């Protein structure tokens, strides 16, 4: 879909510059330099701060992956130890709570969905409950009405 289409990417991330056909460097809201990535490197444009930031982000990602691997290893060791303690059972008995839903839970739902969507869903819920009550009331009235007409119930 985007083949042969112009796309403009505004970024401070150096890894987007190399595959780009054209790089425009802005300074004080003015075009400072323009050209391909290679042309700008040959012209002596200092990508040092961007490159340093890019390298720092790569290192953070690598560190995050290493931390994740260590966490997975810890979980595997802990899970194995827990399974050994449970006498071969892999599941635990689940608990069940009854009662009213705490206001904090509703606030969390509202924050996750956004206030407009959450309010709309609450309105739909109230409308659905209203229709359910109305149908129950109508069924009650209809079933208690005595009629001599044989077609009344059809």
- The string of pLDDT tens digits covering residues 24-42 is 888 788 888 888 888 887 8
Residue 80 has pLDDT above 60, yes or no: no
Q: 50-78 in b/e burial notation, b at 16+ Cβ within 10 A?
A: beeebeeeeeeeeeeeeeeeeeeeeeeee
pTM: 0.33
Residue 94's pLDDT is what? 79
Q: Give the count of beta carbons closer than 10 Å to the beta carbon of residue 85.
A: 8
Which of 117, 118, 98, 123 has its CA nearest to residue 106?
A: 118
Q: Which residue has the higher pLDDT, 94 or 64?
A: 94
Give the residue-averaged pLDDT of 62-73: 70
Kindly state the percentage of the chain with pLDDT values over 70.
Answer: 71
The pLDDT of residue 115: 83
Q: What tens digit of pLDDT does each residue of 85-125 get?
A: 555 566 777 788 888 888 898 888 888 888 888 889 889 99
Query: For all residues of the chain together, what is the average pLDDT?
Result: 77
Q: Please report the pLDDT score of residue 60 as a whole number.
A: 75
Distance CA 154, CA 14 (A): 75
pLDDT for res 126: 96
């Amino acid at each position: 879909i985007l083949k042969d289409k112009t796309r403009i990417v505004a970024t401070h991330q150096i890894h987007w510059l190399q595959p780009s056909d054209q790089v425009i460097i802005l300074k004080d809201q003015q075009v400072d330099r323009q050209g391909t990535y290679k042309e700008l490197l040959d012209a002596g444009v200092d990508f040092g701060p961007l490159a340093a930031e890019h390298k720092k982000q790569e290192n953070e990602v690598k560190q995050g992956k290493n931390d994740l691997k260590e966490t997975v290893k810890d979980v595997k060791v802990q899970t194995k130890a827990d399974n050994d303690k449970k006498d071969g059972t892999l599941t635990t008995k689940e608990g069940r709570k009854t009662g009213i839903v705490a206001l904090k839970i509703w606030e969390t739902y509202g924050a996750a969905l956004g206030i407009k969507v959450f309010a709309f869903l609450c309105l739909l819920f109230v409308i659905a409950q209203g229709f359910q009550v109305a149908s129950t009331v109508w069924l009650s009235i209809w079933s208690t009405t005595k009629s001599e007409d044989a077609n009344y119930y059809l």
